[in-house]
């Protein structure tokens, strides 16, 4: 199936590694991650594993959230919308929350900025949204 993902996060980790390499930025430069965050068990675990693979220990320190929790899945428009959200986060120094995240999956054990926005300076951000 076109949305089927390997559980180890390998595909997304490879894409993030490539993007960071092309940008000539180390993972530790990322001050915020705009996660794809579709809210499905399969995707959320896949993403968590991918961030751990490509960001290393920094994955446990950098705030991540999903604007889909507020806006829903915008399919092919996801890149434009997340780019705007990332630009606002960089401009205002506030990262958006993952709305309604009150009982996270124990396997999704990173800082997904539950419920409330947070002040956080970010000079570089990573957007992991994917559309089809």
* 3 vs 116, more confident: 116
pTM (two decimals)? 0.90
**65 beta partners:** 34
Coil, strand, or helix at residue 9? coil
Domain spans in the chain, listed from the N-terminal domain onward: 10-127
CA 32/CA 29 separation, integer angstroms: 9
Please check whether residue 90 is in contact with residue 122, taking contact to mean a CB–CB distance below 8 angstroms: yes
The rounded percent of the chain whose pLDDT value lies above 90 is: 67
Pairing of strands 118-119, 94-95: antiparallel
Q: Please state the length of the chain.
A: 132
In terms of pLDDT, which residue wins out, 22 or 36?
Answer: 22
Q: Return d(Cα 57, Cα 86) in angstroms, integer.
A: 22
The predicted pLDDT at position 3 comes to 60
pLDDT in tens, 9-30: 888 999 999 999 999 999 999 9
Say if strands 64-65 and 94-95 run parallel, antiparallel, or are unpaired. Answer: unpaired
Q: What is the pLDDT of residue 132?
A: 56
- Count CA within 13 A, CB hemisphere, residue 121: 1
Dist CA 63 CA 31 (whole Å): 7
Whole-number Å distance between alpha carbons of 64 and 44: 12
Confidence (pLDDT) at 68: 81
User: What's the fold here for domain 10-127?
Assistant: Peroxisomal Thiolase; Chain A, domain 1 (3.40.47)
Tell me, what's the pLDDT at 5? 73
């Amino acid at each position: 199936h076109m949305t089927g993902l390997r559980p180890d996060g390998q595909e997304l980790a490879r894409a993030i590694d490539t993007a960071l390499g092309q940008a000539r930025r180390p993972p530790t430069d990322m001050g915020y991650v705009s996660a794809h965050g579709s809210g499905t068990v399969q995707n959320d675990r896949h993403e968590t594993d991918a961030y751990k693979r490509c960001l290393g220990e920094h994955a446990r320190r950098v705030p991540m959230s999903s604007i889909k929790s507020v806006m829903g899945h915008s399919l092919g428009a996801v890149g434009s919308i997340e780019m705007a959200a990332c630009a606002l986060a960089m401009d205002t120094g506030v990262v958006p929350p993952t709305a309604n995240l009150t009982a996270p999956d124990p396997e999704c054990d990173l800082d997904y900025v539950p419920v409330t926005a947070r002040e956080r300076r970010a000079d570089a951000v990573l957007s992991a949204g994917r559309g089809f």
